[in-house]
Chain A
Amino acid sequence: MSQFMTTFGIWLGAFFTISIFSFLYKDNPFYKLAEQIFVGLSAGYWFIYTIYSILIPNLFGKILSDFNSNIMLLIPALLGMMMLIRLIPKLEWISRYPIALVIGTSAGISMLRYTQSDVLSQVAATMINPLGMNTIGEKIGSFILIIGTVCVIMYFYFSRKQEGILGATSKFGIWFLMISFGASFGYTVMARISLLIGRLQFLLGDWLHIIKP
């Protein structure tokens, strides 16, 4: 019987694959079906995932196995319940406390993380000596890197009109942005085509056996 279920599974996969692809032609009952099954199934999946992989190991498991040393975990548990109190319209305001806590934490942590890794590290990485590079290409490139970084930062300068020196640098900055957008786009094409190849290999191979999987 298992063999049948394996084959059935492949047919299920093929059916849903084609249903999603059919959206490219136009919206149709097959897509609608696949879409709603996808939304429902994945919502269910994440619900179960949250219980088994987040709440049990991080909260219930710890509290049940060693209550005394995990007593602090009752606080987030309580805050979690306060979130759920939203369901009673009159008591909605109670959920502001967990939200305030979460947002305060996020704001604090973001300030630290972004200043460290996106400001300090990136600034340090841009302090380079182009003259010390090995090839002509690297030398020119490194100069471009420094100038480009500075110009694009100046493009984001908000509190002055973009004219004069600021106008020139931010114009330059836009050129760098354009090159970077084009290049990143071109760079990603290959990876995205691989995804389609993968799907077609499943359809033509595992399902139809036209090609050897």
Chain B
Amino acid sequence: MKRFLPLMVTFFIGIIVISSEFIPHKPFSSINAGLENWFLIISGFAILLGQISLIKVNSNKVYIKAENWQYYLIGLISFGVMVLCGILWGTQDANGILGSHVDLSKWLGSKPFVYLFDNVYQHLSSTMFALLAFFIASAAYRAFIMRSFESNLLMIAAVVVMLGRTTIGTSFTAWLPQGWRFLHLPDVANFVMNYPTNAAQRAIMISAALGIVGSSLRILLGIERSYLGGGD
């Protein structure tokens, strides 16, 4: 029973969602938007579960003095500080329970929550993102090796597109006369992007969508049910 009823819920909700797509009449017309809003609310409540897991795992590490426990303590403190700042003085657009506290904001230049966001969070986030510049270089060094016909295609396409989008690449072929324009690197790069690349991406999308339809159907029919866990 503990598994059967939820499976019925999944099935019926799925059927309702699919049929309301085709029924413009009330009340079906607003069901799907409503359910998406429900999802936001349910996951909004659920976020607490994550926070509790984070606190539990980290404080456990601090408690048993696991390796690097000091850092996990700092993680816990950062979490607490951010939550407190948000609850007490609010965010950019919303006031916290202590109001907006103008003096404090004036001294910091912005609300504490926003100050932390701008000066710590944002820098951490964009630096983490910027690591990609390095990794893309090391991946290129290692991966684009002429080894087989397939890997040659991979490498040539990458180099052509890369060159075609830079100033230097453009100047390689700038001397070619107008009649040979189709050999200009930027044009070759565009050709590669517009046709073969587009074809492959399109096919990936189409077949993945079929996979999604198949998986969704298996879920609705209760064939794929591992997400519900065990029990009877």
Contacts and interface: CB of A to CB of B under 8 A. Distances in A.
A24 B134 contact: yes
Interface in A133-178: 136-137, 141-142, 144-153, 155-156, 173-178
Contact of B71 (A36, A59, A86, A187): A36
A204 interface: no
Interface residues of A, number: 120
Given A39-B75, A145-B199, A183-B157, A16 B136 contact: no
Contact of A107 (B14, B131, B144, B182): B14
Contacts of B202: 122, 125-126, 145, 149, 152
Nearest to A12: B119
Interface of A: 1-2, 5-6, 9-10, 12-14, 16-17, 20-21, 23-24, 32-52, 54-56, 58-59, 72-73, 75-77, 79-81, 83-84, 86-87, 93, 96-112, 114-115, 118-119, 122-123, 125-126, 136-137, 141-142, 144-153, 155-156, 173-190, 192-193, 195-196, 198-199, 202
Contacts, number: 400
21 contacts: A13-B122, A16-B123, A46-B47, A51-B44, A79-B42, A87-B49, A101-B13, A109-B35, A109-B36, A111-B212, A114-B209, A144-B199, A145-B196, A148-B200, A179-B197, A179-B200, A180-B199, A183-B189, A190-B162, A193-B136, A196-B134
Binding site of A, secondary structure by majority: helix, strand, loop or mixed? helix
Interface residues of B toward A: which range?
35 or more
B10 interface: yes
A151 B166 CA distance: 32
B37 interface: yes
Interface string B191-232: 111111111111111111110110111011000000111010
A44 B79 contact: yes
B180 to A, nearest CB: 12
